Amino acid sequence: MIETERLALRPWREADKPRFRAIINTPAMMTHFGGPTTDDALDALIDAQIAGQRDDGFSMWAVDWRASGEPIGICGLRRAHHAGSPVFGMLEAGWRIAEAYWRRGVAREAAMASINWGWAHTDDAAIVAYTSPSNEPSWRLMQKLGMRRRTNLDFRHPRFAGDDPLGEMIVYAVERSAA
């Protein structure tokens, strides 16, 4: 488990799925992911994190508000898994924080803790993050985390149809030497 001043990042439990679906699967939360999705798709996301924790020792962890224990999102690290993309296999940071916690520095706090964990527990030379160009809050956060734009790593996300602008991924990275 990773603890910060306000947050606890921890491995997922099966019992977390209903609450995660409730806070994540809203129109505002899913705007840059193609809109609300099915419970099965969100459960599969958590199952993948459980498998990542088991197989790799890390994942996009559950994020709890320490004061209450309330689950408020997902943040952490995983191996980028889009075969054929320039980021495939790289250490990827990602986050989704409940709307009630937006603009409070929560995503930054969780992401920085995750990146610091990555430097301490992996030998990776860089950590990447990506989003669609329209997701300005996310790429602004990447900049605040010390990440720099890496146009040579941009790619088309396979989840989106060929003409969907949400499928264009812009990539940011922070190098170990810059951390």
Greatest pairwise CA separation for the chain in angstroms = 44
Q: What is the mean pLDDT of residues 99-116?
A: 96
The reported pLDDT for the residue numbered 117 is 98
Mean pLDDT value across the chain: 89
Q: What is the mean pLDDT of residues 90-109?
A: 94
Confidence of residue 30 (pLDDT cuts 50, 70, 90): low
The reported pLDDT for the residue numbered 166 is 62
CA distance 160 to 168: 9
**pLDDT, tens only, 115-157:** 999 999 999 999 999 998 888 999 999 999 999 999 999 777 6
Q: What is the dihedral of CA 39, 87, 72, 55, to 10 degrees?
A: 80
The reported pLDDT for the residue numbered 70 is 93
The reported pLDDT for the residue numbered 81 is 84
**pLDDT, tens only, 10-28:** 999 999 999 888 887 777 7
Confidence of residue 164 (pLDDT cuts 50, 70, 90): low
Domains assigned to the chain: 2-178 (3.40.630.30)
The reported pLDDT for the residue numbered 21 is 82
**pLDDT, tens only, 62-83:** 999 999 999 999 999 999 988 8
The answer for residues whose C-beta is within 8 angstroms of residue 127's C-beta and 6 or more apart is 77, 90, 91, 92, 93, 115, 118, 119, 147, 173, 174
Does the structure show a pLDDT above 60 at 36? yes
Strands 126-131 and 7-10: unpaired
The answer for residues whose C-beta is within 8 angstroms of residue 166's C-beta and 6 or more apart is 32, 33, 34, 132, 134, 157, 160
Does the structure show a pLDDT above 60 at 179? no
